[in-house]
């Protein structure tokens, strides 16, 4: 396994080392290189008034998307675990959004559903005598969260539905014979069985949600102002809009540290359950 491990180490370590190197360099593509600047890039980022907003947007986006996807994913998993006519087609339609590319999903929601003039939601609002909502101007972060939740709810539902297949039906039947209704059976039998899969889904989705970028670029470009700018888009704006390679690299290191802290606690929590 040595060649594979060596390739993996190179694949991971070389970009990280280069990012660390550039993060302590005064390297802007529009100005002459300044050479080694120490921690100046980190100090500049950490004292940037907009960084607090960026981190807050990242936390809100991740937490809100997690709550929506876990709740809806659990409901869909329980629903599609029941036998009904056309269940196979319904499962396929439920899972389909997960296989749509993020840029395509963002374009569909931006132009076909949430457009204030031509979108489906605007047509429904006008049909009801209401004023259409300009989602990306009035509620930009909420609009991005809705798009992300639509993309990732199928993932949560698929994992939880797979877990439900291993639920001992004798337990469900015993609970039913003891007089437990559907809600009691769900709370005391189904939900405890789904606790570990839900923890795994939370860990995986958190890692992916911390890297959300394409949906923001296509829909709001981080705006209005910094209203939808998260850490990945903040790094992008530093690197490819301001051409500040050093500052963007420092932002990348900060993002890596935050992501590893989150992953560390999730892995420990899951390992404790195991």
Of residues 234, 223, 225, the one with CA closest to residue 258 = 234
Residue 174, pLDDT score = 81
pLDDT above 60 (res 274): no
Mean pLDDT of 86-105: 90
Of residues 215, 214, 71, the one with CA closest to residue 153 = 71
pLDDT in tens, 180-215: 778 888 888 888 888 889 988 998 899 899 999 999
Buried-state track 90-106, b at ≥16 Cβ within 10 A, e below 16: ebeebbebbeeebeebb
Residue 272, pLDDT score = 67
Range scoring the smallest mean pLDDT among 26-40, 112-126, 146-160: 26-40
Residue 86, pLDDT score = 86
Residue 183, pLDDT score = 84
pLDDT above 90 (res 88): no
Find tokens 């923890």 and name the residue. Answer: 199
157 — phi, psi (to 5°)?
Answer: -65, -40
Mean pLDDT of 59-66: 95
Does the bond joining 224 to the residue before it have cis omega, within 30 degrees of 0? Answer: yes
72 — phi, psi (to 5°)?
Answer: -65, -40
Residue 264, pLDDT score = 81
Buried-state track 138-150, b at ≥16 Cβ within 10 A, e below 16: eebbebbbbbbbb
- Following DSSP, what letter does each residue of 17-78 receive, concatenated? HHHHHHHTEE-BTTS---EE-TTHHHHHHHT-HHHHHHHHHHHHHHHHHHHHHHHHHHHHHH
pLDDT in tens, 14-60: 888 999 999 999 988 888 888 898 888 999 888 888 889 999 999 99
pLDDT above 90 (res 104): yes
Residue 11, pLDDT score = 87
User: Using 50, 70 and 90 to split pLDDT, how confident is the model at 168?
Assistant: confident
Residue 1, pLDDT score = 86
Question: What gap in Å lies between CA 269 and CA 262, rounded to an integer?
Answer: 11
Its pTM stands at: 0.89
Mean pLDDT of 227-251: 90
Residue 273, pLDDT score = 60
The alpha helices in 139-244, defined as continuous H runs, are 140-164, 169-177, 182-185, 191-209, 214-219, 231-236
């Amino acid at each position: 396994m040595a060649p594979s491990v060596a390739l993996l180490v190179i694949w991971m370590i070389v970009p990280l080392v280069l990012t660390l190197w550039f993060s302590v360099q005064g390297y802007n593509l529009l100005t002459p290189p300044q050479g080694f600047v120490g921690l100046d890039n980190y100090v500049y980022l950490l004292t940037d008034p907009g960084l607090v907003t960026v981190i807050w947007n990242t936390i809100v986006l991740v937490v809100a998307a997690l709550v929506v996807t876990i709740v809806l994913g659990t409901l869909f998993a329980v629903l599609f675990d029941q036998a009904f006519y056309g269940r196979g087609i319904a499962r396929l339609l439920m899972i389909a959004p997960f296989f749509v590319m993020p840029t395509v999903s963002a374009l569909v929601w931006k132009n076909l559903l949430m457009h204030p003039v031509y979108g489906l939601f605007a047509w429904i609002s006008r049909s009801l005598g209401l004023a259409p909502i300009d989602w990306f101007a009035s509620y930009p972060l909420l609009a991005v969260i809705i798009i992300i939740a639509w993309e990732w709810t199928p993932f949560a539902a698929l994992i939880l539905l797979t877990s439900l297949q291993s639920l001992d039906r004798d337990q469900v039947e015993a609970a039913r014979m003891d007089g437990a209704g559907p809600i009691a059976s769900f709370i005391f039998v189904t939900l405890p069985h789904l606790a570990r899969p839900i923890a795994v889904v939370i860990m995986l989705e958190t890692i992916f949600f911390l890297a959300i970028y394409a949906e923001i670029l296509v829909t709001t470009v981080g705006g209005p102002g910094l209203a939808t700018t998260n850490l990945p888009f903040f790094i992008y704006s530093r690197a490819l809009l301001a051409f500040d390679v050093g500052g963007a690299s420092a932002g990348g290191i900060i993002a890596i540290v935050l992501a590893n802290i989150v992953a560390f606690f999730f892995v420990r929590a899951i390992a404790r359950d195991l």
